Amino acid sequence: MALSLRTKGVLHSWFTAYNPDLSSYSPGLSLFIRLAEESHSLGLSKIDLGRGEERYKWSLATGSVPVCEGSVSTRALATLLRASWRQTRDWVSASRLAGGTKLLRPFREWLAYH
């Protein structure tokens, strides 16, 4: 069994699973060979096996592309925005614009989804 993502003629291999008792038959390797045989009829121009040093990837690969890893965290920004929202809400509620929170609700909803 294989779970993969497909886009614009590229199949991105994600998870491949098989019964470990059958490992001597190389089911994963057999799956990818069969997939490569059918790739043209499936509209695939490339099968991306993903990063990793697994032996089957090197035995099937016709090339490689260097990739980088990283992450972007916006937790501090989200916390800052929430705090700013609460301060603004409290300020408006305490002012003569007490009914103004209705005006700010659309902004809050937009902020929640972006």
Question: Is residue 9 within 8 Å of 46, Cβ to Cβ?
Answer: yes
Comparing CA positions, the residue from 36, 39, 38, 47 lying closest to residue 14 is 47
What residue segments make up the domains of the chain, in order of their start?
Answer: 2-60, 75-112
> H or E element: which one contains 17?
none
**pLDDT tens column, 52-88:** 777 778 888 888 888 887 766 677 887 888 888 888 8
- Is-above-0.85 flag for pTM? no
Distance CA 47, CA 6 (A): 9
